[in-house]
Amino acid sequence: MTASFQAEWPIPVSVAPDKLAEIQAEFSRDWSGVLEQAQRGSLAPPADRRFKAPGWATSSNYLLNAHAYVLSARAMQQMVEAAQLSEPLRDRLRFSVMQWIEAVSPSNFLATNPEAQRLMLETNGQSLKLGVQNLLADLEKGHISQTDESGFELGGNVGISSGQVVFENRLMQVIQYAPLTTQVYKRPLLIVPPCINKFYVLDLQPENSFVRHAVEQGFSVFLVSWRNPLASDTDGIDTATWEDYLQEGVLAAVQVVQDISRHERINALGFCVGGTLLASALALAHARGDHPVESLTLLTTLLDFEETGVLDVFVDETHAQARERQLGHGGLMSGRELATTFSFLRPSELVWNYVVGNYLQGQSPPAFDLLFWNSDGTNLPGPFFTWYFRNTYLENNLKVPGRIKVDGHALDLTALTMPTYLYGSREDHIVPWHAAYASTEILRGPTRFVLGASGHIAGVINPPSKGRRHYWAGQGTSRPGKLPGDPEAWLESATQHAGSWWPDWAEWLATHSGERRRAVAKLGNARHTPIEPAPGRYVKVRAV
């Protein structure tokens, strides 16, 4: 006898009879133990945060339902691990089963959630009424509310670092931030954030702004603010390509910073997709004989897409071709669709947690700046997205010297020999830290790799004033090819440090920033005069 999962799967997925019998026996044994505890009146809620509220212990029926769910979920996960199939298919099955398990939790339904029922009775139905109102409001907005969005205003209490937009074109604006010190380092810093999100994750509020911290350290900071294209735009932005983002985006911003600072070699930092764009643009510049960057910082960035974590379940030729037919010649990849995809990578925390709180219990989520930013998505030009999907996630072409050509020039990331600071987050589910570390095998300059605690965003946005978390780092900067090839071997030899990695980065960057000089009194220059105050109008456009 075998167990099979056949819905929507190209081939039957089976579990060996002996392994299936073992899983069934374990389930039966543990369920019998649950029933015995229930009969003795000693049954406690399972060790799952969803069942910790007092209401779950008020009735044996609720407890039995919770335990049945937990044991069934475990058995399904065991069957996935025991299934006789390839690892790529197992990953997809694991992801699909995880989605189903999270969706059917008894905590997600009014009829099986005692806490929601208790609130409904105690409030004479007001909690349910408020929940329905929350649901209708979210349906109108098109997304689940994860925070009180009314508590924030972009340019009012988030994204408020002082500066001016000093350049703009159809793809981006360049912001120059006002100095906060009387003297600044001579060599400026250009920050390239991801175009898949809005830049102000790096400039939330003064106490957790990476931008403000850099300015406070005496760095002259410029930043790219990517445009959020809309279906109503008529200037052809929906046909923008990867090449356009390199030339009209990153390299155009580099030229602006060079011109304003009067430095031919600047420092540059890229975050996530912004780092991939930045490294690619610099490879293009090098292929043309230009070397505009003195030092490079890459935060949670993929250059080698061999290991992409849970996102790999979405990557195959069929999906790539479907997107190319849909968007390859124009159109927009919806920010709403992108946001939904990322939320369902962690459905317990970013979906069902809010379904229960907002709709079943009628609660309003508290104001949280990071989640306000998370709900403020961006659209992407279709040709850009389809090129990126195929050449990175599907075919991993960027890391292969010469495989990609832009404007007739072959890109070679191994040609980048400037000093580099690489940062990865240990619990990152979007850019697994082993994948971030893989850039040490591609880039050829002196490299410092630093590993922070927490995830993709929380690991990066970790201001020193909070005194939170920790990071791992080696001694100094490693010469080319001297870092261990195995990331785990690197971690074994690294030293753990308490607190934020930001001071470590600032100390490293200072060594590549030249002497200090008097800070400028006016932003921009005669060629690039201020257009509007930061954060600028591009970032304020909401995706629809």
Cα Rg of the chain (Å, integer): 26
Q: Does any domain span residue 118?
A: no
Query: 10 with 101, same domain?
Result: yes
The C-alpha atoms of residue 277 and residue 193 are separated, in whole angstroms, by: 9
* Residue 539 pLDDT exceeds 60: yes
Residue 467: the pLDDT is 87
Looking at the fold, whether 530 and 416 belong to one and the same domain comes out as: yes
Q: Of 355, 371, 387, which residue is a domain's last? A: 371
Q: Residue written as tokens 């399904």?
A: 76
CA distance 323 to 328: 7
CA–CA gap between residue 380 and residue 535 (Å, rounded): 20
Residue 1 has a pLDDT of 31
Percent of all residues in the chain with a pLDDT value above 70, rounded to a whole number? 98
449 and 519 inside one domain: yes
194 and 304 inside one domain: yes
Print the domain residue range for 22: 4-106
Same domain, 312 and 341: no
Long-range Cβ contact pairs of 14-19 (< 8 A, separation 24 or more): 14/83, 14/84, 15/79, 15/82, 15/83, 15/84, 16/82, 16/84, 19/82
Q: Give how many domains the chain has, as a whole number.
A: 3
Q: DSSP for 134-182?
A: HHHHHHHHTS---S-GGG--BTTTBS---EEEEEE-SSEEEEEEPPSSS
CA dist 257 and 176 (Å) reads: 9
pTM (2 decimals)? 0.93
Q: Are 301 and 272 in contact (CB under 8 A)?
A: yes
If asked whether residues 17 and 41 sit together in one domain, one would say yes
Pairing of strands 470-473, 332-333: unpaired
Which tokens in the block code for residue 168?
């703009």
| Strand ranges, E, within 199-354 | 221-226, 266-271, 293-299, 332-333
Q: What are 288's two structure tokens?
A: 């043309």
Structure tokens that stand for 217 in this block: 């350290």
185-200 confidence digits (pLDDT tens): 999 999 999 999 999 9
Average pLDDT of every residue of the chain: 94
**Residue 12: what pLDDT?**
64
Count of other CB atoms within 10 angstroms of residue 518 = 9
List alpha helices for 328-381, DSSP H: 335-343, 347, 353-354, 369-374
91-124: pLDDT as tens digits: 999 999 999 999 999 999 999 999 999 999 999 9
* DSSP classification of residue 353: H
Query: Is 235 inside a domain boundary?
Result: yes
Distances (CA, A) of 208 to 39, 69, 188, 203, 219: 52, 40, 22, 7, 17
- Residue 112 maps to a domain: no
What token pair was written down for 425? 């987050």
- Report the DSSP pairing between strands 405-406 and 409-410: antiparallel
Dihedral (CA of 524, 528, 530, 532) sign: negative
The encoded tokens of residue 58 equal 């008020």
Q: Return the CATH number at 318.
A: 3.40.50.1820
pLDDT digits (tens, 9 = 90+) for 243-261: 999 999 999 999 999 999 9
Judge whether 117 lies within some domain.
Answer: no
Band of pLDDT at residue 6, cut at 50, 70 and 90? very low
Sequence-distant (6+) residues with CB within 8 A of 6 are 12, 13
Domain contains 54: yes
CA distance 393 to 388: 8
Burial of 282 (0-12, 13-18, 19+ CB in 10 A): buried
Whether 214 shows a pLDDT value over 60: the answer reads yes
| Residues recognised as catalytic | 272
- Residue 147 in any domain: the answer is yes
Q: Report the alpha-carbon distance of residue 257 to residue 268 in Å, rounded.
A: 10
pLDDT in tens, 418-461: 999 999 999 999 999 999 999 999 999 999 999 999 999 999 99
Distance between CA atoms of 215 and 189, rounded to whole angstroms?
Answer: 10
In this structure, the answer to whether residues 225 and 281 fall within a common structural domain is yes
Regarding beta strands 293-299 and 420-425, do their DSSP bridges make them parallel or antiparallel, or are they unpaired? parallel
Pair (412, 307) in one structural domain: yes
Instruction: Choose between 133 and 8: higher pLDDT.
Output: 133
Please give the backbone phi and psi of residue 121, each rounded to the nearest 5 degrees, phi first. Answer: -70, -45
Residues 9 and 130 in one domain: no
Same domain? For 270 and 397 the reply is yes
Would you list the DSSP string of 170-222? SSEEEEEEPPSSSEEESS-EEEE--TTS-GGGGSSSGGG-HHHHHHHTT--EE
Cβ neighbors of 69 (< 8 A, separation 6 or more) are 104, 105, 106
Q: Name the 3-class secondary structure at 7.
A: coil
Q: How many CB atoms lie within 10 A of CB 382?
A: 23
- The whole-angstrom separation of Cα 202 and Cα 93 is 35
pLDDT in tens, 335-383: 989 988 889 999 999 999 999 999 999 999 999 999 999 999 999 999 9
The pLDDT of residue 8: 46
Q: Average the pLDDT over 6-22 and give the result.
A: 72
Q: Residue 127: inside a domain, yes or no?
A: yes
Residue 5 has pLDDT above 50, yes or no: no
pLDDT, residue 11, reads 54
Choose between 252 and 60: higher pLDDT. 252
- Nearest Cα residue to 296 out of 272, 283, 279: 279
The verdict on 364 and 441 lying in the same domain is no
CA distance 221 to 156: 21
Q: Is residue 113 part of a domain?
A: no
Q: Are residue 95 and residue 135 in the same domain, yes or no?
A: no
